[in-house]
Amino acid sequence: MRFYSKITRRPNTVIEQIKDGNKVVSQKRITTFINGVCDTDDPEVIEKLKGHPESFRTDKAWLKAVDWKDTEEGKLLMEQGRKLGIDKLMGNNYKYISKPYLEKLIAEKLANCSNLKIETEPKIEVKKEMSYQEIVAKAKKLGIPTHQRKKEEILNEIKKKEVITNA
């Protein structure tokens, strides 16, 4: 007869113990499940395994627990959360978030977004600060000495030279 166990990640040994209070007097291995399956013909083993229907069954293998993140609905929820920026609040991952909590965050974010007016003005680009190497290269093109000088001093001279040359 074939029995299926809930534990499938490692071999599962079924042991019968005789205890005297907290002390184990004797123990006997009944059977071992390999990858969640055990085939046996011993009537004593069959009787003991049938006595625990919550752990062992004969009709079909136990369903493997499916993480909600692996389902289609879960993937759609996580993608929607990324679009709304919720993943950044969670440290750029959803490793420890529950499905109801993510749904709640998405609903709150959507409610907040509907109350806000969407700005159609173009965003103003912030001028990128030049690195020291870029400043030195520009100063050398303009013929400004850079040896043992601070970045700010070199920038001030570059601005003066550019104003003079543009005028």
CA-CA distance, 10 to 149, in Å (whole number)?
A: 67
Q: What is the pLDDT of residue 11?
A: 84
Residue ranges in the chain whose pLDDT is less than 50: 116-126
Sign of the torsion formed by the C-alpha atoms of 40, 46, 48 and 50: positive
Q: What is the pLDDT of residue 25?
A: 92
Q: What is the pLDDT of residue 87?
A: 77
Q: pLDDT tens for residues 110-131?
A: 887 765 444 444 444 445 677 8
Q: What is the pLDDT of residue 23?
A: 92
| Both tokens assigned to 150 | 């601070």
Strand-pairing partners, residue 15, are 29
Q: What is the pLDDT of residue 110?
A: 85
CA-CA distance, 26 to 92, in Å (whole number)?
A: 52
Q: Where are the domains of the chain?
A: 2-57, 68-115, 132-166
